[in-house]
Structure 1
Amino acid sequence: MSSNNPQTPSDTHLAYLARQPILNTQLQIVAFELLYRSGTQNIGPGPSVQNATATVMLHALGVIGLSSIASGRPVYINFDDANLLADLPELLPPDKVVLEILETAKPTTQLLERCKEWLGIGYRLALDDFIYRPEWEPFLKIVQIVKLDVRALGLDTFAAHVKMMKSHGLSVLAEKVESQEEYETCLKLGCDLFQGYFFARPEIISETKLPVVTTTLLEALRRIRQDSDTRELEHTISRDAAVLYRILRYAASIGFGAGKAPQTLTAAIMRLGRRNLQRWLTLELYASAHDINIAAGSLLDLANYRAELMSILASEVGLHHEDIDEAGAVGCLSLLDALFKRPMDKVIDGLALPSMITDALIHETGPLGQILSLTRALEQEESHTIARLCVQIGISETSLPELQAKALENQAKFSENY
């Protein structure tokens, strides 16, 4: 198969969000609030709060990476009552997230019981833009933090609220602080945490977001619901570079990289557990992540072809089943540097991939690295390199046209189905 050198896409979609620091009484940054943004302008949500929360989670966990955003500090994320009553927060690591109950939420008994469940799991809870009403009293017994808008309440009401919250043993976060005078007033009243333009405006962070094929998500969800074999599930996921990358980034964001690195891609994906994987795939759909991009799409098609060909070549040289799956993943991920416009080692940093895959992607060493080199050489029709690699790998050069044709046929089937 001949192929022109892939061009780096110039119009790849970007994922945006903003973070605003939260400071303590010593003016040290102790946390960040994550805020929805749709572009470079510092403007809040246009979509529903529910969709905005899903998008913030998707971008923070699966595209940008929580460690890059939070720098080891906890993050505050807004949740309305619909999101809190659903399973959405369970995708977030309890030790790294504070769930902000938005002021639009209704203080129902159902919401109270659900918040108690989140508390029992280990999440911290905060009441956002809080204005006291008696029906919120039960919530003051389970939350840890109350956010008070110094400007919206006015000084007298704000002072009364601070006194009341402190009597409940709660931490008070003064928000919308915009001057030295307001900060000093809040500090004297006993506020514990501070947030506002006086300290820092929200900082917009962006990252390349690869287009996800919606039907891949649907097929993976179908396989989970049908309790399909793990290898079938992995095959579906590892044929879409965007889905595979975001799942691995999400896994790294929730502490997946701690401890011993997984030895196979199957282990890496399944360590999440099917329940979490199902929720993540649903979140991808829920956040409308199907961003069609023609330039990126051509590279993703080539990545899919590489995945098919590398799996076939790995099988031809007699590698084990797990290594065949790894070969497909290497092919699928091998164009991430072109898609993200960054060196491969920077793109996959923090994904906790098995060393066999990272060695192949970064250095083209090891058995999978040699197969990747052969795949690239075939694309460029480099006859001398092809002949040399065939001898090294132990594959007949005369069999290559048939194997390439089979890979093209498999790719065509994938495109039809997904």
Structure 2
Amino acid sequence: MFAFIARQPILTGKKEVFAYELLFRNGVNDCFPESLDDDASPSSKEILKLNLEDISCQKQAFINFDKTTLLNGLPEILDPNNIVVEVDHLGNVDDELVNSCKRAKDQGFKIALDHLDDINQSKLLLPFVDIVKLDVMRHPVAHNGDNISMWKDNGVKLIAEHVDTPASFEQCVDLGFDYFQGYFFSRPQAYNKKPLPSSKLSLTSLISECNKSSFDVSAVNEIIEKDAGLSYMLLRFINNPLVNKRHKITSLKHALTYMGEVEVKKFIALLALANLADDKPLELLHLSLVRAKFCDLLAREKCVGDNPPLGFLTGLFSLLDALLDQRMHDAVSQLPIVEEVKHALCGGQNQLAIYLALAKAFESATWLKVKRASDMLMMEQAHCHSLFNEAIVWGNSVRQTLSSHFPVTKTRRTS
């Protein structure tokens, strides 16, 4: 069981994940809930048995705390080695708040300031601050080089918030920010209509097989056997403990016998996407994995599209525009994807599109949209959230399978 939590990545200048910010539905302004014993907020009790590392993928977790929680003392269940205490909505900085931050710092927590209303007031906390978050969409201080220099000269790291376009990311890099929060990495760098390179054409054959109701094992096996890298990655995927805990699988035919056609199709599609994404940030693929699993779980609940696995394919290819730097219509036109999935990816209205909208609502912690999409599917919000957390854990595991063997990206080489 998990509490109602959303997460948003914080990336480095090389577009690698530095940390995740965790947002709590039952807390005011997405902060950590003030009370874990409040009967009106039963899901907050689940935090007591929540392993936050499952949500944060072994990265540091930024958690918002309001002034009341800080004054009352941070819950003992939180590990200072993994948690960054985010002080939100500062308002008037008084002695009580300063002492609370000092106490948290003495406990070993790192301190991050967010939503700075008065930079002079916030200077009172400077001795305890490790990180400052600046909203580049609305806060003028983010564009003031002198103020940025003031923080950096005092050894404070800077996070640019709401960095939602590649252009904004480049601007923030030039301004001297250390980390970046927003979905700039999931946007196309620049639209182009270039066809897939010849080296990627074999991947379209794999995707085609995953979109058929039948499965030509010999054809897929022939494609994979010609590429040692594909063979190696496929076996790593299929021998992932979350997928297969009992038997060592040594070939595609063995996998098909043991796992069944539908599950193998999912991993073939995943394998194809991973190779399409070999020049993109790993977090972009990670987000695709979580969406794929979540949409797949929803489809199972609603008994929709098992073979081919329509929900899984919808989530998996939902960031195809960013992976190929093309408009979605142009991207899907190059790949043999089922029409029902194409319709959802290109903004059409069907049940698969609702699955995708719900996934995006969870990612952005837009709780009203979560409610609306859950209602449209006639599913309990709590159950939908448990499915999303299950998808996060699954995505983390598959990501770890990928990471050490993922190709070095162009982003990493040039940053």
TM-score of the alignment, normalized to the shorter chain, above 0.5: no
Interval of TM-score (by shorter of Structure 1 and Structure 2): 0.3 to 0.5
TM-score, L = length of structure 2? 0.40
Higher relative contact order (CA 8 A, sep 6+): 1
TM-score, L = length of structure 1? 0.40
User: Which entry has the higher C-alpha Rg, 1 or 2?
Assistant: 1
